[in-house]
Amino acid sequence: MSDERLVGIVLVSHSAEVASSVAALAKGLAGGGSAVPVAAAGGTESGGLGTSAELIAAAAAAVDRGAGVAVLTDLGSAVLTVKALLAEGDELPEQTRLVDAPFVEGAVAAVVTAATGADLAAVEAASTDAYTYRKV
């Protein structure tokens, strides 16, 4: 790898517990994943179920090491809020992408890939590819 900067991962869920648990799961399963900056943005600022633009923006800023930020979401307002923030242009770090991926499997794939020093496009591809892992 040409530099040491790792892609940051943000996990956005309607539930704070889901976001932080999936972050812990992905880091735990990733082995070398502990070096990957991962932040959870779950629930509303008041602790309820929902989506907070402020928590998302803060999480993205916290994991930005200059190599890009991959954002994974669960559904509904989580997806729409990230899209709206991206459309604003100045709310999220440069090179932030909403990654189309299953939340749990995609998070694991993203953290595992980011831990190798892969770039944002590779992290996004690995994460999206998790849609193809059939279980039956």
Partner 1 sequence: MLDADFFRRWMTVTAASVNREAERLTALDSPIGDADHGTNLQRGFTAVTAALEKEAPDTPGGVLTLAGRQLISTVGGASGPLYGTLLRRTGKALGDAAEVSAEQLAEALRAGVDAVMTLGGAAPGDKTMIDALVPAVDVLGDSFAAARTAAEEGAVATTPLLARKGRASYLGERSIGHQDPGATSAALLVAGLVEASGE
Which residues of this chain interact with partner 1, rule CB under 8 A?
44, 48, 50-54, 76-77, 80-81, 83-85, 87-88
Q: 71 phi and psi, to 5 degrees?
A: -110, 125
Q: Measured from the CB of residue 73, what is the shortest distance to partner 1 in angstroms?
A: 12
Q: Is 31 or 48 the residue whose CB approaches partner 1 more closely? A: 48
Q: 43 phi and psi, to 5 degrees?
A: 70, -170
Q: Measured from the CB of residue 98, what is the shortest distance to partner 1 in angstroms?
A: 12
The angle at the Cα of 85, spanning 84 to 87, to the nearest 5 degrees, equals: 65
Q: Measured from the CB of residue 123, what is the shortest distance to partner 1 in angstroms?
A: 24
Quote the CA–CA distance of 43 and 40 in Å, as a whole number.
Answer: 10
Q: Is 56 or 114 the residue whose CB approaches partner 1 more closely? A: 56
